[in-house]
Amino acid sequence: MSKFRGKTQNNQPLADWKAIYADCRKHEQFLIEVRKYDPAKEISNQQIKYWHAVPIEEFANYTGYSKWKSEQWLKRECGEQYFMHELKEEENRRGIVMFECLNQHCRDLFVIPKRGDHGVLICPQCLSDNTRLFFMASKTELSTKDFNVVLENTYDFMASINRPIQAPDKHWRENQ
């Protein structure tokens, strides 16, 4: 599969049309898809891909938690200021309502099964009622720049638990 990028200037789409034509000719049938290219968004897709493939994978291996739970933990440990919000901020945003066990020996995170049905929250892990309700924003709400800060924090955090991870350099991309 080949991909071509272009841009529109003075209402004219500029691309390597000759190369596109030559590529199409190689196939008896072919499909051309055109979509908007947004450099910031493309980088962000790379970040998300890396986030799932490296830090979450490594943290899940380390803790034995599910990938989902590992992601929530990493969001808290490495991006609390971006992801964890007061409950009143949940409206019209992407994310989930969760609660956190404030027992320092536990600190586990749980999802609230039913919206609005908060009741008294007891940590099922350690039975502590010292818990806190919050809104966990979706990572898609973050800008590329903010997510980079989260990734930087992730390297430090993983190193602090003796599971250093590789940054998303050329080498990592080549292995994908």
Residues interacting with Zn ion, by CB under 5 A?
A: 101, 103, 106, 108, 123, 125-126, 128
Are the beta carbons of 56 and 67 closer than 8 angstroms? Answer: yes
The residue length of the chain stands at 176
In the complex with Zn ion, which residue's Cβ is closer, 14 or 126?
Answer: 126
Q: How far is the CB of 85 from Zn ion (least distance, A)?
A: 21
The helix/strand/coil state of 97 is strand
In the complex with Zn ion, which residue's Cβ is closer, 128 or 153?
Answer: 128
Cα–Cα distance measured from residue 172 to residue 22, given in angstroms and rounded to the nearest whole number = 31
Q: How far is the CB of 93 from Zn ion (least distance, A)?
A: 26
Beta strands (DSSP E) in 86-148 are 95-101, 109-111, 131-137
Q: How far is the CB of 105 from Zn ion (least distance, A)?
A: 8
In the complex with Zn ion, which residue's Cβ is closer, 93 or 132?
Answer: 132
In the complex with Zn ion, which residue's Cβ is closer, 123 or 150?
Answer: 123
Beta strands (DSSP E) in the chain are 7-9, 12-14, 84-85, 95-101, 109-111, 131-137
In the complex with Zn ion, which residue's Cβ is closer, 125 or 144?
Answer: 125
Cα–Cα distance measured from residue 105 to residue 108, given in angstroms and rounded to the nearest whole number = 9
Q: How far is the CB of 120 from Zn ion (least distance, A)?
A: 14
Tokens 């009622």 — which residue? 129
Q: How far is the CB of 68 from Zn ion (least distance, A)?
A: 18
Cα–Cα distance measured from residue 24 to residue 164, given in angstroms and rounded to the nearest whole number = 45
